[in-house]
């Protein structure tokens, strides 16, 4: 059976062309800075994101913890959203590895945290308090439904941080989705942050890898931290070649994923028993490639139907999607490189028939 995999944009498989680029990659020992493909990838990304330097890392989680380790130390504090990936899904690494205290503020449904709340949360210089060292933003915002932080918002947070001597790290796992949806250069979204992590292995379709960008000085220290967390990767140009390929070929086409996601959301909203919206908020239209929705079993005369049951029924119809979030009725579907417009129509038919008790 042809499976339509909407669990995540991490599930994409490298195409023949991408594999070809990997086979032909020139490699060297990257721990000695001698891998030409890695060096090329890092230079390319630094330029695209408007930073002096860049470091190739194994994953988004590694990029974020390396950034956190580089910006702060034991007993320091970072301010971040209560729905942020770094707070929810990175194994408590900030506390466990960096000894950094997380000061969470509620995310608004659009993925922002109010600038005034950030300002209020910054600690005064007093022996009783931890030192606020870092503010983390996320763009696009996963748990808020793939919402987009605007350049104006990022600039406002950056300005506040600079005025207080605090660094800003941007978890930009899906930053290119944000840039494409806004129709702007990605560096407009990174100009006010000190460091940014982007994933190659999500919508861009590479099998492995993320990039961490910042000043030359920041990246020099980050490289030491990457080594400490086990990220010195030798002839890693084999993998970096897929990253180069993905930056060259797979950015503009993200618009297609967004179009497919909008169509999916429209179809979901038209089905009785399903309502689009992350965290129960139905005010944010789907703008990028993440479609969150809620299942109302009672509305279709089947109170036992929740996200888990729906997911099981979809699987028997060849569609993969997972419950996601704290609400047992919430599900997420993600569009990506390996999902076509036709797949979306089929997924909607599968959803429709899954809502009927058989």
Ligand X SMILES: *Cc1c(COP(=O)(O)O)cnc(C)c1O
Taking the least distance from each CB to ligand X, the nearer of 85 and 226 is 85
Total residues at the site for ligand X (CB under 6 A)?
Answer: 11
Of 57-65, 117-125, 183-191, 300-308, the window that binds ligand X (rule: CB under 6 A) is: 57-65
Q: Show the tokens assigned to 80.
A: 């971040």
Taking the least distance from each CB to ligand X, the nearer of 257 and 306 is 257
Which of 138, 123, 161 lies closest to 86 in space, CA to CA? 138
8 A C-beta contact, residue 29 and residue 35 = yes
Per CB under 6 A, does 257 bind ligand X? no
One residue of 199, 211, 233, 348 binding ligand X per CB under 6 A? 199
Per CB under 6 A, does 9 bind ligand X? no
Report how far residue 329's alpha carbon sits from residue 33's, in angstroms, rounded to the nearest whole number: 49
Of 56-64, 159-167, 237-245, 264-272, the window that binds ligand X (rule: CB under 6 A) is: 56-64
Per CB under 6 A, does 138 bind ligand X? yes
Q: Mark 10-49 with x for binding to ligand X (rule: CB under 6 A) and - for no binding.
A: ----------------------------------------
Per CB under 6 A, does 210 bind ligand X? yes
Assign 210 to helix, strand or coil: strand
> Which residue intervals of the chain are DSSP H helices?
16-23, 36-48, 60-71, 85-88, 93-96, 115-121, 151-163, 175-182, 187-190, 216-228, 237-249, 254-269, 307-316, 341-354
Of 23-31, 32-40, 55-63, 212-220, the window that binds ligand X (rule: CB under 6 A) is: 55-63
How deeply is 74 buried, as exposed, middle or buried, from its count of CB atoms within 10 A (0-12, 13-18, 19+)?
exposed
Report how far residue 274's alpha carbon sits from residue 152's, in angstroms, rounded to the nearest whole number: 34
8 A C-beta contact, residue 289 and residue 336 = yes
Per CB under 6 A, does 205 bind ligand X? no
The residues in 258-277 that bind ligand X, with binding defined as CB under 6 A, are: none
Q: Show the tokens assigned to 295.
A: 């299942």
Chain centroid to CA 181: how far?
Answer: 15
Per CB under 6 A, does 59 bind ligand X? yes
Per CB under 6 A, does 250 bind ligand X? no
Q: Mark 171-190 with x for binding to ligand X (rule: CB under 6 A) and - for no binding.
A: x-x-----------------
Of 53-61, 92-100, 101-109, 276-284, the window that binds ligand X (rule: CB under 6 A) is: 53-61
Would you tell me which residues interact with ligand X (CB under 6 A)? 59-61, 85, 138, 142, 171, 173, 199, 201, 210
């Amino acid at each position: 059976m042809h499976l339509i995999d909407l669990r995540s944009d991490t599930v994409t498989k490298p195409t023949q062309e991408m594999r070809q680029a990997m086979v032909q990659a020139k490699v060297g020992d990257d721990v000695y800075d001698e891998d030409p493909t890695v060096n090329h990838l890092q230079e390319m990304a630094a330029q695209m994101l408007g930073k002096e330097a860049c470091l190739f890392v194994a994953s988004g989680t590694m990029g974020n913890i390396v950034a956190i380790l580089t910006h702060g130390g034991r007993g320091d504090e970072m301010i971040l959203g209560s729905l942020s990936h770094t707070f929810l899904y990175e194994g408590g690494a900030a506390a466990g590895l960096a000894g950094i205290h997380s000061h969470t503020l509620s995310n608004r449904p659009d993925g922002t945290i109010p600038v005034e709340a950030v300002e209020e949360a910054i600690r005064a210089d007093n022996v009783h308090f931890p030192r606020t060292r870092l503010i983390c933003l996320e763009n696009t915002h996963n748990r808020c439904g793939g919402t987009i932080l605007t350049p104006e918002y990022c600039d406002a947070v950056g300005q506040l941080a600079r005025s207080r001597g605090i660094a800003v790290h941007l978890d930009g796992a899906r930053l290119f989705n944000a840039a494409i949806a806004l129709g702007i250069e990605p560096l407009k979204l990174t100009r006010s942050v000190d460091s940014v992590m982007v994933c190659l292995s999500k919508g861009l379709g590479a099998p492995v890898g993320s990039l961490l960008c910042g000043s030359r000085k920041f990246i020099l220290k980050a490289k030491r931290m990457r080594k400490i967390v086990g990220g010195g990767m030798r002839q890693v140009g084999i993998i970096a070649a897929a990253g180069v390929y993905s930056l060259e070929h797979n950015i503009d086409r993200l618009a297609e994923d967004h179009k497919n996601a909008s169509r999916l959301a429209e179809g979901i909203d038209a089905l009785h028993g399903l309502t689009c919206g992350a965290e129960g908020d139905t005010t944010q239209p789907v703008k990028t490639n993440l479609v969150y929705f809620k299942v109302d079993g009672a509305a279709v005369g089947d109170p036992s139907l929740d996200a888990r049951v729906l997911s099981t029924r979809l699987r028997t119809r060849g569609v993969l999607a997972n419950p996601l979030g704290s609400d047992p009725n919430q599900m997420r579907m993600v569009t990506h490189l390996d999902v076509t417009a036709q797949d979306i129509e089929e997924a909607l038919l599968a959803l429709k028939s899954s809502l009927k008790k058989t």
